[in-house]
Chains A and B, each alone.
Chain A
Amino acid sequence: SQTIHQWPATLVQPVGSPLSLECTVEGTSNPNLYWYRQAAGRGLQLLFYSVGIGQISSEVPQNLSASRPQDRQFILSSKKLLLSDSGFYLCAWRSLAKNIQYFGAGTRLSVL
């Protein structure tokens, strides 16, 4: 069966520090991968998606970047965090067979 892992679960970082959030998927190959941000426990904003290794599409210009160094690994990064980067970050993968996006448990980032 397929599983998706995100870590860390929570993170507190000072303004101006770097960020690296990791997401990995097991049990499938060549998945579409997505990073979302959820602010204030409400709507989801799509940040990045990837249809293959090294292929990243950005939906919103911002302080963040994404990379996909391996087929089932998706990384969200920042060189210098801003207060506005605080939020709940969710990674998802799409099952081609079921046409469903499945989500990880999320990372709650607090930038202080």
Chain B
Amino acid sequence: AQSVAQPEDQVNVAEGNPLTVKCTYSVSGNPYLFWYVQYPNRGLQFLLKYITGDNLVKGSYGFEAEFNKSQTSFHLKKPSALVSDSALYFCAVRERNNAGNMLTFGGGTRLMVKP
């Protein structure tokens, strides 16, 4: 079975500071990993994914994430936060042999960037 944990309900950071949103996962075998962002009353927007290859993945809006197999983590990072980055962030995982290509999502982390 596949699962995802986002241990922080909320992350607060000052504008211009680096941000990290944590994600750990559990799968059988190798994972596909994803980050999505959700603004109020909107659908989820894809940010980035890890499939294979380089452990550091770069995505939209200056976000990046680092795949760490030994720690089963896929933390989302950004060197300099913007107030407009304030939103709800979801990590998701899929096992490679998942017949329905189903994603399992974490509970979400609310990012608050203060001016």
Contacts and interface: CB of A to CB of B under 8 A. Distances in A.
B100 A32 contact: yes
A99 B32 contact: yes
B103 A42 contact: no
Contacts, number: 53
B30 interface: no
Contacts of A99: 32, 49, 51
Interface residues of B, number: 22
Contacts of B42: 105-106
Interface string B82-114: 000000101000000000111111111000000
A49 B101 CA distance: 9
A105 B44 CA distance: 8
B107 A43 contact: yes
A19 to B, nearest CB: 19
Range of interface residues on A (Cβ < 8 Å): 20 to 34
A57 B49 CA distance: 25
B106 A43 contact: yes
Nearest to B36: A103
Interface in B4-38: 32, 34, 36
A44 interface: yes
A41 interface: yes
B73 to A, nearest CB: 19
Interface in A73-112: 88, 90, 92, 94, 99-106, 108
Contact of B45 (A43, A51, A103): A103
B41 interface: yes
Given A32-B101, A103-B45, A105-B42, 18 more contacts: A6-B43, A34-B102, A41-B108, A42-B88, A43-B105, A43-B107, A44-B44, A46-B104, A49-B101, A57-B100, A59-B102, A92-B44, A94-B101, A101-B34, A101-B101, A103-B43, A106-B41, A106-B43
Interface of A: 6, 32, 34, 41-44, 46, 49, 51, 57, 59, 88, 90, 92, 94, 99-106, 108
Interface of B: 32, 34, 36, 41-46, 49, 51, 88, 90, 100-108
